[in-house]
Every structure is written in C-alpha cells, then in structure tokens.
C-alpha cells in the first residue's frame, strides 16, 4: 500500500466476527474480553497465517454509548431496535463520548496494545471498524437519516460533525498505539442507497477529513463502501485514501481503470456466494482471478468484499489465504 510492488499479494480477512465465532467466542461478550480476543488472534495467526492481524471495534459500540439499543439474533447481523436520536432536537442533548466510561472501548484498547506488542513487527496490525458516517445511521436510524438528507440537510451535517468528532475521540488511542492500517466504512454513502451527487455533497468531505486525520498519525487509511461503488470510486480515491475496500459486485478492472495506479484496492471476494456457499475450489478460482485483475502490478490486498458471515467454512478462508501465499508471488505467473 506504500506504492511499491511487494514480494507477493498480501491477504487479509478483514473480519473479526468470523474469526471470533470460529474460535468459539460468543460475539455478544467477546468484545469485552481483551485477553480472549488476543488469544483467538494468536490461534488464527498460528492456523491460517494471514498477513494482517485484525483489531476491531464492533459496529454497535459507539452508537450504544449514545443510547442506541439492539437485538442480537443467534446468527446474522445485530438489529437496531431503538436509535439514540429519534428527533432532530435529541442530537443537541447528547454528551460527547468519554472512552474511559466504556467497557468495550477499554477492552479494545487493551486488546490492541497486546496485538501491537505481539505482532507489530511481524504482521500488519489492521484496525477495522464502522466509520463515523456509518455510525451516524445507527445513532439515528437509516430511514430517518435518508429523509433528512432531503428535508433537513443542515441536521445531517450537524449529525455527521458530531459523529466524526466522537469517532476521532474513540479511535485516537488506537492510532497512538501504532496500528498500521485504519480501515473504516462509510456504508450509507453507497450508490445502493444514495445518489453519487448526495455522496459528493454530504459524505465526501467528512471521509476526506477522517483520512487526513489518520495520516497525521502515520497510519495507512483504507475505507469501505458497500455495493457497486463504480460511480463514486474516483471520488473515493480523491479522498487520499491509501486503499479502497471494495465489494464483490464492483467490476475491479473498471475500478482500476477509473482510479489509476496510485490507490490500492482491497477485496473483493463475494462473501455470500463464494466464501460462504462456495467450495474451496471456487474460492481458489475467485482468488486467482481477483489477484490477476486487481494486483497485476501491486497495489492490491486480497480480501473478502464485505463482512464474512460467521457460518462461512474454515476451508474456504484457508483457501483464500493459501492462494495468495502460493500463487501471489510477484510477478504473477499463473
């Protein structure tokens, strides 16, 4: 991601939920237990040996701090029950976040420090979390936020401002411990939800601000927007991000054409159809193809396109990682 061509294509799982559930951690309590999270990554590193060790902060933590409530289904994604901000006036009443009062943030900091100490020299410590604008849709609620994008643009800007400030406060200690990569999402900016015009008008500026801020600490910035992002991929690259994490429905050769060589691409194996429901052979084929298209001259990290479902088989993750280590050597010759 620093521009040169590495020895081979790096590979990263960019999902801690899968790793935790595969190693027997209950997702509801895992994020409070730094020692067990570290132990699990030790296990993952031993068994799978990917290039990145992922430190993550669950998507629910920051919104919950402000009062959002959730339901956790046995499998699948957390469901938002009641948002912290149901009306515009409630935003002003929120007190800015104080990390010392949040158990999960504290656990994340401890876990992060352990990972950096233990793996910092040998592996890339990749911090991954929902970004501030994704959190904004969870501090309010997506539908409400979508309405406000049309009817109350000023409120949306205030909400984004607040959420970016909160995120910086929560993430600062993680940057200070010396993680290598900060990977955040800006999901509601997806062309699946809003127009490219709205992305430029409301989201872009904040995404750029966050990326510049990450750079101030010397870390690399990667950011993710779900869905087919072709129509905003140039804007995404212009934020100055070192890497763009892209979903499986995005045609990577078109993306590469649009953004040139400067920005790395991270992706984009289909989490549901290939990683969860495919065979290891499907995964190998898809990984080879992705490396060929995305990584012909460096600037590519092989990874899932979006969050990996906890039910995805181990063999498939192993197949992804092994394909990069076995066939990903530069120059690609297969």
Partner 1 sequence: MNQSETVSSLVQVIIAGNRKAAPELAKKLLQSGMDAYEIVTAACSPAMERVGELYQEEEYFVPEILMSAKAFEAVMEILKPLLLEAQGQYSGTVILGVCEGDIHTIGKNLVATMLEAAGFKVIDLGKDVPVDRFIDSAVEYDADIIGASALMTTSMIAMEDIVDRAKTKGIRSKIMVGGGPVTQSYADSIGADGYGKDAKEAVDVAKRLMEG
Residue 82 makes contact with ligand B12 by CB under 6 A: no
To ligand B12, the closest distance from the beta carbon of 192 in angstroms equals 4
Cα separations in angstroms, 182 against 55, 124, 328: 9, 11, 24
Cβ-count burial 95-128 (b if 16+ within 10 Å, e if not): eebebeebebbebbbbbbbbbbebbbeebbbbbb
Q: Give yes or no for residue 251 binding ligand B12 (CB under 6 A).
A: no
* Residue closer to ligand B12, measured from CB, 51 or 307: 307
Rounded Cα gap, residues 132 and 110, in angstroms: 22
Residue entry with tokens 């499907």: 282
HSE (CB half, 13 Å, CA atoms) of 109?
17
**Which of 79, 81, 150, 254 touches ligand B12 (CB under 6 A)?**
79
Instruction: For residues 58 and 44, give the distance between their C-alpha atoms in angstroms, rounded to a whole number.
Output: 19
Residue 97 near which of ligand B12, partner 1, none (CB within 5-8 Å, type-dependent)? none
Structure tokens at 235: 């804007």
Beta bridge partners of 267: 302
Q: Which is nearer to partner 1, 183 or 235 (CB)?
A: 235
Q: How far is the CB of 79 from ligand B12 (least distance, A)?
A: 5
CA atoms of 230 and 234, how far apart (whole Å): 8
In the complex, least distance from residue 249 CB atom to ligand B12, rounded to whole angstroms: 6
Q: Which residues bind partner 1 (CB under 8 A)?
A: 71, 73, 76-77, 79-80, 143, 146-147, 149-151, 191-195, 198, 272
Nearest distance, CB of residue 148 and partner 1, angstroms:
9
- 334 binding partner (options partner 1, ligand B12, none; Cβ < 5 to 8 Å by kind): none
| Selected binder of ligand B12 within 84, 97, 149, 193 (CB under 6 A) | 193
Does residue 81 belong to the site contacting ligand B12 (CB under 6 A)? no
Q: 147 is in the binding site of which of ligand B12, partner 1, none (Cβ under 5 to 8 A by kind)? A: partner 1
CB atoms under 10 Å from CB of 26, counted, come to 12
Q: Give the nearer residue to partner 1 in terms of CB position, either 309 or 328.
A: 309
Residue of 26, 82, 103, 143 interacting with ligand B12 (CB under 6 A): 143
Taking the C-alpha atoms of residue 334 and residue 198, their distance in angstroms, rounded to an integer, is 42
Residue closer to ligand B12 (CB basis): 10 or 189: 189
């Amino acid at each position: 991601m620093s521009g040169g061509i590495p020895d081979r294509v790096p590979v990263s799982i960019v999902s801690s939920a899968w790793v935790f559930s595969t190693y027997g951690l209950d997702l509801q309590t895992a994020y409070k237990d730094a020692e067990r999270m570290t132990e699990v990554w030790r296990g993952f590193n031993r068994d799978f040996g990917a290039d990145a060790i992922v430190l993550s902060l669950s998507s629910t933590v920051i919104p919950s701090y402000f009062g959002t409530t959730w339901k956790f289904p046995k499998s699948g994604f957390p469901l938002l029950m009641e948002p912290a901000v149901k009306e515009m006036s409630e935003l002003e009443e929120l007190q800015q976040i104080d990390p010392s009062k949040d158990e999960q943030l504290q656990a994340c900091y401890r876990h992060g420090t352990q990972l950096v100490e233990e793996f910092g020299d040998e592996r890339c410590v990749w911090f991954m979390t929902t970004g501030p604008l994704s959190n904004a849709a969870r501090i309010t609620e997506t539908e409400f936020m979508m309405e406000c994008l049309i009817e109350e643009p000023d409120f949306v800007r205030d909400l984004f401002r607040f959420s970016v400030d909160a995120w910086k406060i929560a993430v600062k200690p993680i940057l200070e411990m010396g993680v290598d990569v900060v990977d955040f999402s800006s999901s509601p900016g997806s062309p699946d939800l809003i127009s490219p015009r709205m992305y430029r008008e409301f989201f872009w500026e904040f995404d750029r601000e966050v990326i510049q801020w990450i750079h101030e600490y010397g870390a690399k910035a990667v950011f993710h927007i779900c869905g087919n992002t072709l129509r905003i991929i140039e804007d995404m690259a212009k934020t100055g991000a070192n890497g763009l994490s892209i979903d499986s429905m995005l045609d990577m050769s078109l993306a590469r054409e649009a953004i040139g060589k400067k920005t790395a691409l991270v992706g984009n194996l289909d989490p549901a159809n290939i990683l969860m429901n495919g065979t290891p052979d499907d995964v190998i084929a898809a990984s080879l193809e992705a490396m060929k298209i995305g990584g012909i001259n460096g600037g590519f990290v092989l990874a899932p396109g979006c969050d990996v479902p906890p039910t995805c088989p181990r063999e498939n993750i192993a197949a992804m990682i092994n394909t990069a280590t076995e066939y990903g050597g530069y120059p690609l010759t297969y």
